């Protein structure tokens, strides 16, 4: 695709204090996944606590809601107060939660990863287990933080993929192996969300938005990690890319 027709995908940033100043930052792996695995270019969306959604969305062909070290503040889903020391990002919450609804309403393709997946659930009225490892019946979904990063993001467990959904259409199979790098997980599924994949312990690992005008998928794992080395992860980004390309083509007519 020529640069003139290059699709543009917004990528949400985190608002973090680095030294004396607040910064808006995003993991390079998300930017590289867009640049390398799609026919699109990433454009960082800052988390300033507000966003002129109509103007921003009119210029985008898709949005990737990224993962993050931070957790959504639990008051957004009527959850109990977080444990002391939990990393939050209130400006990101205030930016992304309304932006999810605006993007889906506008027909902008959406892919949510990890925190982005959790944001989608909360935006649709769902709730989260804040410390999944303390809830009975679930396998260990956290990474070993003492291990090398290659091992932390290595394949960890299987997911069962529901037939007839976006994920099954993209992959064409009923299961896949994924990494697992999360502390939180879906408790109550948001209204209007369709489960797309489950871990063997019953945890929802992916969902789509039932009545979305366009591609709208959230996944709990990290398909952006070395996406070109994993056929399943590539398939997720390929499906997202196809929706972004279709929107890009319609916007330039």
Examine the residue annotation and report whether 224 is marked as an active-site residue of this protein: yes
Catalytic-labelled residue, pool 129, 141, 182, 222? 222
Q: Give tens-digit pLDDT for 97-148.
A: 999 999 999 999 999 999 999 999 999 999 999 999 999 999 999 999 999 9
Examine the residue annotation and report whether 14 is marked as an active-site residue of this protein: no
Examine the residue annotation and report whether 168 is marked as an active-site residue of this protein: no
State the pTM of this model.
Answer: 0.96
Mean pLDDT, the chain, whole residue set = 96
Decide if pLDDT at 45 tops 80: yes
**Would you state the pLDDT for residue 3?**
58
If phi > 0 it is left, if psi is from -120 to 50 it is alpha, else beta; for residue 172 that is: left
Catalytic-labelled residue, pool 14, 51, 73, 114? 114
Phi, psi angles (nearest 5°) of residue 162: -70, 140
Decide if pLDDT at 165 tops 80: yes
Could you state, in order of their start, the residue ranges of all structural domains in the chain? 8-252
List of residues 6+ apart from 9 with CB closer than 8 A:
34, 38, 40, 41, 42, 43, 60, 61, 62, 63, 64, 244
Decide if pLDDT at 2 tops 50: no
Q: Give tens-digit pLDDT for 75-103.
A: 999 999 999 989 999 999 999 999 999 99
**Would you state the pLDDT for residue 253?**
62
**Would you state the pLDDT for residue 251?**
78
**Would you state the pLDDT for residue 1?**
42
Q: Give tens-digit pLDDT for 210-242.
A: 999 999 999 999 999 999 999 999 999 999 999
Q: Between these two residues, 36 and 251, which has the higher pLDDT value? A: 36
CATH code for the structural domain at 8-252: 3.40.50.880
The torsion defined by the Cα of 49, 55, 56 and 59, in degrees rounded to 10, comes to 180
Alpha-carbon distance 44 to 42, whole Å?
A: 6
């Amino acid at each position: 695709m020529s640069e003139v027709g290059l699709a543009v995908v917004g990528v949400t940033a985190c608002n973090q204090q680095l030294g004396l100043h607040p910064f808006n930052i995003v993991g390079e792996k998300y930017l590289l996944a867009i640049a390398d695995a799609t026919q699109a270019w990433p454009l960082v969306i800052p988390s300033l606590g507000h966003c002129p959604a109509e103007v921003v969305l009119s210029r985008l062909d898709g949005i990737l809601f990224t993962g993050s070290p931070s957790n959504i503040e639990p008051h957004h889903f009527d959850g109990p107060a977080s444990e002391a020391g939990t990393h939050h990002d209130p400006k990101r919450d205030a930016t992304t939660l309304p932006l999810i609804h605006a993007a889906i309403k506008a027909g902008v393709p959406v892919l949510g990863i990890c925190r982005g997946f959790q944001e989608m659930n909360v935006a649709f009225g769902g709730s989260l287990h804040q410390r999944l490892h303390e809830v009975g019946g679930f396998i260990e979904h956290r990474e070993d933080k003492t291990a090398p990063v290659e091992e932390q993001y290595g394949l960890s467990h299987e997911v069962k993929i529901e037939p007839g959904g976006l994920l099954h259409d993209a992959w064409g199979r009923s299961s896949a192996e994924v990494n697992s790098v999360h502390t939180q997980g879906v408790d109550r599924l948001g209204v209007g969300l369709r489960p797309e994949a489950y871990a063997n312990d019953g945890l929802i690992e992916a969902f789509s938005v039932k009545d979305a005008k366009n591609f709208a998928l959230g996944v709990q794992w990290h398909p952006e990690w070395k996406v070109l080395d994993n056929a399943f992860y590539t398939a997720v980004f390929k499906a997202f890319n196809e929706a972004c390309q279709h929107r890009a083509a319609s916007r330039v007519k």
